[in-house]
Structure 1
C-alpha cells in the first residue's frame, strides 16, 4: 500500500483551479501530464489513463489529433475530426452522436503520449497510425450505433 506522506497526498481541487494551473504550465512551455476522467474517449483512452500535452501554438492541426479544448466554459479532451464553417469539429471516440464545434482559439493543447493507468510505458498518440485509427473509428459511428441498438 502506498505511503501517504505529505509529498503524495491526494488533494481535491476544482476543475477551474486545475485547468488554470495546466494552462499556466503550458504557457511556460512545459509539457503537462493530465489524468482523463470519463469514458468519452473509449476504447482508445480509458477513465484514469493519463496523457501528455503540449501547448497549441496555432500550427496546422493534423486530423485525428487528440486535443484539450475549452468548450463553453468546460474543458473537453476529444479527437479533432474535421472543420466545418471555419470551426474545429471535435468528437469523443466513445460518443456515437455528439460533437463539439469550437474556434481555433478554444484549442488549448495537443496530446503526444498516452499512458494506461496500470502501465508505466507510454504510447505515442500523435503518430499517423494512431490518428488514422481514431479517424477510422469515428467514421464508422453509424455502424457502431446500429450495432449498439441491435445488441441491446
Structure 2
C-alpha cells in the first residue's frame, strides 16, 4: 500500500496558481460540490491554463476570493468595473449554487479551465453537456432551482437503489 499524504488544498492551489502564472498548464482534481451536477468532487478533473485576453460568460475559472480562498466557479456575467471603465469585472456562481458572487476583479482570476475530464473522459467543446452548462445553465432565466431539485432527487433515488442492491448481494 502506498503512503498517502494529506495536502492542504489552499497551499496546493497556491502552488498550482504559481505554475500557471509561469505559463504552464496543470490538470487538477475537482474538490467540493459547488460545481455539481456538471463536475463532481473527487471524480472529475479540469485542465487549468493561463488566463486568456478575454473571458466570457460560461467560462469556468479558478479565482481567489478577497479572503484568500481559491474557488473554481463559472462566470455568469461580465461587466465594466465602473461607468467609462475599461477593466472588466466578473460575477461567479457554482453550478450547484443559487447565489451569485461578485464583482470579482480580473486580477483575482488565476486560471481558465480550458478542458474538463468527466468520469475519466476528456470532453470536447462540442459535447452537449459542455454546451448546456456553458450557454443555458448560467442564464438568469434558466429554472436552476427546479433543475437542481430534480438532480438531487435522482441522485437520492439512485443512491438508495445502489444501497439496496448492495444489501441484496450480501
The bucket for the TM-score relative to the shorter chain is 0.7 to 0.9
Which whole-Å CA distance do the structure 2 matches of 1:63 and 1:83 have between them? 7
Q: 1:132 to 1:16 in 2, by over 3 A?
A: same
Rounded Cα–Cα distance in structure 2 between residues aligned with 1:142 and 1:64: 13
Cα distance in 1 between the residues matched to 2:26 and 2:9? 15
Give the gaps of 5 or more residues in structure 2.
82-88, 154-170
Which of 94, 107, 110 is 1:108 aligned to?
110
**Which residue is 1:133 aligned to?**
133
Unaligned runs of 5+ in 1: none
Query: Which of structure 1's runs of 4+ aligned residues deviate more than 6 A?
Result: none
CA distance 1:104–1:30, change in 2 (3 Å): same
**Which residue of 38, 48, 72 corresponds with 1:44?**
38
Post-superposition offset of 1:144: 2.9
* Among candidates 50, 53, 58, match of residue 55 of structure 1: 50
The structure carrying a bigger helix percent of its residues is 2
Per mean C-alpha deviation after superposition, the further-off stretch among 41-50 and 137-146 is 137-146
Whether the 8 Å CA contact 1:52–1:114 is kept in 2: the answer is yes
Distance in structure 2 (CA, Å) of the matches to 1:11 and 1:84 = 42
8 Å CA contact retained: 2:56, 2:78: no
Go from structure 1 to structure 2 and tell me whether the alpha carbon gap of 1:70 and 1:131 turns closer, same or farther (over 3 Å shift). farther
The structural deviation recorded for 1:114 is 1.2
Contact 1:50/1:115, CA 8 A, preserved across alignment = yes
- TM-score w.r.t. length of structure 2: 0.70
- RMSD over aligned CA atoms reads 2.8
